[in-house]
Amino acid sequence: MTRVVFLLVPQLHLLDLAGPAQVFSSAADLGHDYRLHYVAEREQVPTVQGVPLVADTRWPELTPDDLVLVPGWRPAAHGPQGPVSPVDLRRLADHHAAGGTVASVCAGAYALGRAGLLDGRRCTTHHEVQDDLARRHPAARVARDVLYVVDDRVVTSAGIASGIDVALHLVATRHGPGVAARIARTLVVYARRNGHEQQASAMMRHRSHLSDAVHRVQDLIDSRYAEPLPLAELAAAGGVAERTLTRLFRGTTGLTPLGYQQLLRVERAEHLIGHGATVEAAARTVGFTDARMLRRLRARSTGSAPAPIGSSRPVTGTPPAASRAA
């Protein structure tokens, strides 16, 4: 059994709580043994949106398998540091020291900072309070413009809807991306994770940005990476001009649209080769006309000579890219 304990504070944001709670509740509906607990200093907890919550004033006994999550609150209500008591801050620190995972959504990162859990670690929070968090906790390495950060069982997220993203990531880490993708479909959320690829895949590495236009284009490329995709079609999917898309895509992912598509093709080809396909068959399956381009991209991504037929050398870099078509 895994307990997910939500530490509630007055004037918390409902979605900071409800999003992750729905993810773990859905995981329980799928047969994974999650038990959700809601704790607070007082039984009645007011929210920013006006819906009162009822919480338990007693904490359950925790094990290293359990997660403690602090939803965010309206900074103007208490100051951004929030009304988390020294006793609860000690519980957060002790749970992490015992091998447990501690997470936050939005301004909940301040509680982790006050508990000493951000010192020397990468973290993030809502963009409106990132600078203040960095000022109050100079030993923390605050990452801007990312959805969430995981550093040594300390998990922080940007807030509001990104609480769903980080909860899906935690489910994927424990149960695999397929389970997380199934939950995402159940929640009818804008999935930024692919349910059939490992977390280290290109679909994961190049999704940690906040550009909706680029996400829409990536969705199209992800679903049709084996097809020719003219830049004009991709730009239309993103709702921007072609030159704007090229600039945005490179700025947010470090790649051109074609470079991203080629990376997906190479990774899928590596998977096929690792499961017994020939280089020629894998190349054609992923959209190359023959194996020569695949061999060149594999060689360039590893900085070595072209791999021999049948090799399943892993991809460690990114292939070169043009920008006019994908």
Residues acting as catalytic residues: 106
Which residues, listed in sequence order, are joined to residue 44 by a DSSP beta bridge? 54
Rounded CA-CA distance 85/115 in Å is 10
Cβ-count burial of 319 within 10 angstroms (0-12 exposed, 13-18 middle, 19+ buried)? Answer: buried
Q: CA 316, 321, 324 angle in degrees (round to 5)?
A: 155
Rounded CA-CA distance 87/68 in Å is 14
Q: Phi first, then psi: give them for residue 229, nearest 5 degrees.
A: -130, 100
Q: How many residues does the chain have?
A: 326
The two three-digit tokens of residue 262, written as one number: 């080629």
**Residue 41 DSSP symbol:** S
Q: How far is CA 322 from CA 12, 266, 284, 306, in A?
A: 47, 15, 20, 20
Rounded CA-CA distance 121/106 in Å is 17
What sign for the dihedral angle of Cα 61, 90, 39, 120? negative
Rounded CA-CA distance 286/269 in Å is 6
Q: Phi first, then psi: give them for residue 151, nearest 5 degrees.
A: -145, 100
